[in-house]
Amino acid sequence: MGFSKSPLAFGDVREAFDRALNSPKGIRIPCETRGAAIVLRSRFNYFRKIDRDESKRVYPIDHGMYNCSAYDKLILRVPAKGAPDETVLYIEPRLSTDMQIEEIE
């Protein structure tokens, strides 16, 4: 069975996303199992899709937020199987400081 198509079914997800946006390093959500963390990550991604679809109804096609979600700035990560924190969903900001950037001379 799939997820609900109503954004109202994702109040908890929106709340967690907002907390992650307001946290400099993001948040983590411990789950019972790795499978539960993966399902939760899917639920977050599905809500992000719903949020993008909603933006198409709110913004004109030439607007920068058309087909975008404020939550697109966040990375959803479940560590590899066997890792000590394999049952945790991490929601972290996407930062340029995570990249090695070099000026071209």
Can you give the residue ranges of every domain in the chain? Answer: 10-93
Query: In this predicted model, what pLDDT tens digit does every residue of 45-75 receive, in sequence order?
Result: 999 999 999 999 999 999 999 999 999 999 9
User: Confidence band (pLDDT; 50, 70, 90) for 7?
Assistant: confident
* Cα gap 103→78, rounded to integer Å: 32
Contact predicate 68/55, CB 8 Å: yes
Backbone angles phi, psi at 57, to 5 degrees: -85, -25
* Cα gap 35→81, rounded to integer Å: 10
Taking the CA atoms of residue 98, residue 93, residue 38 and residue 83 in that order, the dihedral angle to the nearest 10 degrees is 40
Contact predicate 71/21, CB 8 Å: yes
pTM attached to this predicted model: 0.86
